[in-house]
Amino acid sequence: MPLTNAQLHLVSRPAPEAVVENFNLVEVPVPELKDGQVLVRHHFMSLDPYMRGRMNDAKSYATPQPLNAVMQGGTAGEVVASKHPAYQVGDKVVGFGGWQDYSVVDAGVPGTMRKVDTTHIPLSAYLGAVGMPGVTAWYGLIKIIQPKAGQTVVVSAASGAVGSAVGQLAKARGCRVVGIAGGAEKCKYVVDELGFDACVDYKAQADAKALYNALKEATPDGVDGCFENVGGPVFEAVLSRMNAFGRVALCGMISGYDGEPIPLKNPQLLLTQRLMIEGFIVSEHMAVWPEALKELGTMVATGKLKYRESVAQGLAAAPEAFLGLLKGRNFGKQIVKLV
């Protein structure tokens, strides 16, 4: 009797806000494996902010998510059947299997899947701190901000999967690290657990002036490096604190993921402070992944890089968890547990 595979399809485009009704849960039979293919049972599924942009039928750095097809995304799981000599039943693997219980992978195609060691690193961490979010943090900090000991680095969405790694990597390099997060609980975690020097709760600030003043208090010597995940008023406040020749790694603009433009009120600061701003997509920098993953994996395995996960249970819970991620309801890396 063939296995049944539950899948979540994107069936409509957001207009403009994403809703649960944009997705549909379907069941299909798992196909027979061909030579060179591997069947993976997903244990964990990654939910990430970039997915919201791909739901739009608009020009971007990646092609739009097709309608009436499995929603795309990162997965971590176990090989349950193999017709490829390099993969055995029981191997733990990470890949891009999408929002479904199983995926059939052409294992001979480079980059489709890789084996991981779960002896010292939990499988789910390969979707977060030792996966794409961790490498994103590493690349933006090391290659763009290029921090030096004694400098001040500000990280927005500081309690998230990317931001939390940025701060800890910067602290390891001798920087003063200031986070920006939403809520007292997240800020307490960022300082007490992750070791940031300070954290500004943007939700506790009455207006843009109050946000600026709170950030000014936390950055008495100004800001040398900004790792930006949010945009909007948060980014405006950080720009106003940037030192001359500061560097900005533009990673995300989650405040505008529903399609609304994000105005920049004081673009003259880019000129007067001679700022370097670089947007980046981590998948375009695969050459650095081995170096980044080696450092990240070592730090996680030795307890020097801490992370937190928000776990939704079961495939059907993915749409609500994803919408919550866009609203900042998650705490740390948002994943879905399938097994």
CB 104 within 8 Å of CB 30: yes
Percent of the chain with pLDDT over 90: 90
What is the identity of the amino acid at 142? I
Q: 55 with 190, same domain?
A: no
What strands lie across the sheet with 198-201, from one edge to the other? 198-201, 176-181, 152-156, 223-228, 242-250, 276-279
Q: 160 with 248, same domain?
A: yes
Q: 72 with 179, same domain?
A: no
Please report, for the domain that includes residue 224, its CATH number. Answer: 3.40.50.720
* Alpha carbon distance 271, 256 (integer Å): 24
In the chain the beta strands, taken as DSSP E runs, fall at 4-10, 23-29, 37-46, 69-70, 75-82, 92-95, 102-106, 113-115, 152-156, 176-181, 198-201, 223-228, 242-250, 276-279, 309-313, 333-337
Structural domain boundaries enclosing 81 = 4-128+307-337
Mean pLDDT of 12-16: 91
Position 298 in a domain = no
pLDDT score of 235 more than 70: yes
Pairwise pLDDT comparison (214 vs 58), residue with the higher score: 214
* Alpha carbon distance 314, 64 (integer Å): 25
Please report, for the domain that includes residue 56, its CATH number. Answer: 3.90.180.10
Q: 147 with 265, same domain?
A: yes
pLDDT score of 261 more than 90: no
Express each pLDDT in 138-170 by its tens digit: 999 999 999 999 999 999 999 999 999 999 999
pLDDT score of 62 more than 80: no
CB 335 within 8 Å of CB 162: no
Angle, helices 132-139 vs 161-172, to 10°: value is 50
Position 297 in a domain = no
pTM: 0.93
Q: 274 with 152, same domain?
A: yes
Position 57 in a domain = yes
* Alpha carbon distance 56, 58 (integer Å): 5
pLDDT score of 328 more than 90: no
Tokens of residue 172, six digits: 């390891």
Express each pLDDT in 264-288 by its tens digit: 999 999 999 999 999 999 999 999 9
Position 301 in a domain = no
Q: 146 with 277, same domain?
A: yes
Position 246 in a domain = yes
How many structural domains is the chain composed of?
Answer: 2
Q: 253 with 199, same domain?
A: yes
